[in-house]
Structure 1
């Protein structure tokens, strides 16, 4: 899936919005694994540090939980 990013706005925020949209539309249902840092870096063609920032923000906002050695998973939302 190709996503066009607007290079005039913070890229990491745009990627967060894409992943949140995928969670909301059921692409990533509750309990499912979200893409890893490497997968985000590859899909969006961004640096690993940008992908890490995306996952850190999603975790801080309660969208995902991280399990060491397993990855990040969608948190259930009501």
Structure 2
């Protein structure tokens, strides 16, 4: 997964905010639902944390 690789290589360093579902959907040419699911998968694996109203951040 590209987002996982970007976290691993420091493109998205610890504490940085991930782009939202709509920008990610445009970047990867997928539906916003699909982009949001990818971010949820990262959250379930403990790679990111979500702060309602603030965004999703690299753990």
**Which bin holds the TM-score, normalised by the shorter protein?**
over 0.9
Shift of residue 35, structure 1, vs aligned partner = 1.4
TM-score, scaled to structure 1: 0.73
1:36 aligns with 2:30: no
Any runs of at least 4 consecutive aligned residues in structure 1 with deviations exceeding 4 A, and if so which?
none
Larger RCO (alpha carbons 8 Å, 6+ apart): 2
Q: CA deviation at 1:70?
A: 1.1
28, 50, 53: which one pairs with 2:37?
53
Q: Which has the larger radius of gyration?
A: 1
5+ unaligned residues in a row in structure 1: which ranges?
A: 1-16
Equivalences, count:
59
* 3-state SS in 2 of match to 1:30: coil
- Backbone CA RMSD of aligned residues: 0.7
